[in-house]
Chains A and B, each alone.
Chain A
Amino acid sequence: DAKTTQPPSMDCAEGRAANLPCNHSTISGNEYVYWYRQIHSQGPQYIIHGLKNNETNEMASLIITEDRKSSTLILPHATLRDTAVYYCIVRVDYGGSQGNLIFGKGTKLSVKP
């Protein structure tokens, strides 16, 4: 079973920030938080990942709480093309050993004009 909990769906107005929450209360010290998204009938696309510090790249920002039990993916200016299912995944990455990406049900984000 996936080790994360996400709301099944969210709506966001075009041009606004989309904030997608994820709970991972059982995360362990050597597990990273990864975010992928899947646009309809395509393969998943990597977005961002982090361990404990906040991360930002050209696609999104990842905010991880200090206790690491939850995180938020932020799309600063959502567009219609950001409509997709967003998956939050925790995965071991320690000393050259990496766990598998196990997908939960994700959050279906609908960006509306």
Chain B
Amino acid sequence: GAVVSQHPSRVICKSGTSVKIECRSLDFQATTMFWYRQFPKQSLMLMATSNEGSKATYEQGVEKDKFLINHASLTLSTLTVTSAHPEDSSFYICSARDGSRLAGKRNEQFFGPGTRLTVL
């Protein structure tokens, strides 16, 4: 299947710093990208949806000024956690939807391997 990469895979930072996580679709054009967060022993929670070239749509309860999302190209989206605090420690997972019109591939959605963020 298609490949979605995330970088970094793991990051540890001090409280108050900002952390940027990159999400790339490696072999397809992602018209829509999604960011999820997963706390230990819990399910994935959708944070926001972004379409290339437009502002992200955030889910209820997610602070858009704290979690900055940029989707500047069809293969790259970034999530910046600003002024991170220990409660932001989590597993962040991006997902990309294949906008191809090829039969069998339309609108398939693929997930990255995740980024483990630890804020000290």
Contact = CB atoms under 8 A, between A and B. Distances in A.
Contacts of A103: 36, 43-46
Contact of B43 (A43, A93, A105): A105
Dominant secondary structure of chain B at its interface with chain A: strand
Interface string B79-102: 000000000000101010100000
B27 interface: no
Interface string A74-113: 0000000000000100000100001011111110000000
Interface in B70-120: 91, 93, 95, 97, 107-114, 116
B109 A104 contact: no
B107 A46 contact: no
Contact of B93 (A44, A98, A102): A44
A87 B34 CA distance: 17
B90 to A, nearest CB: 12
Contact of B113 (A43, A87, A104): A43
Interface string B37-49: 0000001111001
Contacts of B61: none
Contacts of B95: 43-44, 101
A56 B113 CA distance: 25
A42 B49 CA distance: 20
A28 to B, nearest CB: 18
B43 A104 contact: yes
Given A44-B44, A101-B34, A101-B95, 18 more contacts: A41-B116, A43-B93, A43-B95, A43-B111, A43-B114, A44-B93, A44-B95, A46-B108, A46-B110, A46-B111, A98-B107, A101-B46, A101-B109, A102-B46, A103-B44, A104-B43, A105-B43, A106-B43
Closest 4 CB pairs of A and B: A43-B111, A103-B44, A103-B43, A44-B111
